Amino acid sequence: MNYPSRRRISIAALSLWIGLRLLLNEVRFINENSSIADTEDGTWAPSAPSTSTKTHSHQQQHEREQIIEKALIIATVPYTSEHVLAIWTQLECIVSNYDKVVISAPDAPWSRDIIGQIVNEFKIRSETRIGNKIDTAFYVNNRYDAGLWCDGLKHNLGFGLEHEYHFRNSTKPRAVFLTNDSLVALRRYDNLTDEVTTATLSGKAKLVSLNGKVDDLETPNEDLWVESVYRGFTPDALPTFVRHTCGVGVGRQCKRLGTKAKFKRCIVETFEISLASEYQADEVGIMYPSYFPSIWNSSEWEKANGAVDPKDHWLKGGRYFDFLLESEHFPFRKKGIRRELPTQCTSLFTDKELLWFELLPYPSKETLSAHQQAMHASFGEQ
């Protein structure tokens, strides 16, 4: 397979983004607002379809989606309350449409204890069948999020990694979604799941990410990537991810780098940035740009709020993030950033009960340091 250059992918991806921009504004966000309505008490509730035609169409789509299984793997190292909060908000606000959810975490006593309490608490409070979809898996965490995702794919979901590339425990096509504990949900969000489901139904290979860097057509460069914070893969797109990320020894070269900064950069380049170039141009999609694209017209918003720096990344929680929140209904924040923002995804707790997140048995600094050192020492091993 002859893969295109990143420049070709970036231009094609942006061209696709431009072409779909109006459609997405009309469909993605309007659909979002029509399926979820504000109530008087500020909570969210489903709004009724306006015609019987819509109801019939929705039923047909639902029936088609039943032939596809959707699985989510959440990679986490739950050593602070903010990590646990991120997991919880995802359980409340993005997992309801999944058939299976795997929380993949380090195989350490403190990790097992915390994850066990999270799942147990969610099952008690949710009082729904959603809790029965959740499984936990614990592995030697020596490849960071990538290792936790790959181990979850292989050992929990039964996806073959050695020249077979199929699920041993599923007879239906299975779309797989990957997220981690750096993403705090602010409200219910299904659009990425829907996007991948639609691509699966049409038989397309597709990688869709919540965020990605796309280049302006006027100044194309080589720096296209899709971020790893939340991604979805159609069944035909998943083997490419596995070959790229889950092979024996992938990333082992990073261990030889001297400084922590160089090591971290190597991890990002190896497991995240280089992935997009493994796909054809029309096989990569994003829901929101990582940086503010110059093709967007934000003049009215900027008059009231100030100019958006084109180098301002959404996860910094700056002005571009504010623009996404207010103009594009962005549904997440980065862990540790903009904690003052209210979330609708801890609705199963009262305000007083939120103290629960602070009281879990988090590891001491010494315990966590020993875990991190052991992880680094064995990095790249499988």
Phi and psi angles of residue 159, each rounded to the nearest 5 degrees, phi first: -85, 120
The mean pLDDT value of the chain amounts to 79
Question: What does the angle CA 122 – CA 126 – CA 128 come to, to the nearest 5 degrees?
Answer: 120
Output the pLDDT for position 303: 92
Secondary structure (3-state) at 68: coil
| pLDDT score for 68 | 86
Amino acid in the structure at residue 89:
T
pLDDT digits (tens, 9 = 90+) for 12-46: 444 444 344 433 333 233 234 322 233 333 322 32
- Predicted TM-score (pTM) of the model is 0.81
Q: List C-alpha distances in Å: 347 to 126, 189, 325, 342, 344.
A: 10, 15, 20, 11, 6
CA gap 164, 200 in Å, rounded = 20
Residue found by looking up tokens 């039964």 in the block:
158
Q: Using one digit for the tens of pLDDT, what is the confidence trace for 220-239?
A: 445 568 999 999 999 999 99
Residue type for position 368: L
Strands (E), the chain: 36-38, 44-46, 69-75, 100-106, 134-139, 174-180, 183-185, 207-213, 225-226, 230-233, 284-289, 332-334
Print pLDDT tens along the chain (382 aa).
333 333 333 434 444 443 444 333 332 332 343 222 333 333 223 233 334 444 545 555 555 556 889 999 999 999 999 999 999 999 999 999 899 999 999 999 999 999 999 999 999 999 777 888 999 999 887 678 988 999 999 888 877 655 455 556 556 788 999 999 999 999 999 999 999 999 999 888 899 999 998 654 444 445 568 999 999 999 999 999 998 998 877 777 787 776 778 888 888 888 888 898 899 888 999 999 999 887 888 888 999 999 999 889 999 999 999 999 999 999 999 999 999 999 999 999 999 999 999 999 999 999 999 988 888 777 656 5
In our burial notation (b when 16+ CB lie closer than 10 A, e otherwise), range 146-157 reads bbbbbbbbbebb
Task: Compute and round to an integer the Cα radius of gyration of the chain.
Answer: 21
- 11 in Cβ contact with 220 (< 8 Å): yes
Cα–Cα dist 185/85, whole Å: 9
Q: What is the pLDDT of residues 317-338, one digit of tens each?
A: 999 999 999 999 999 999 999 9
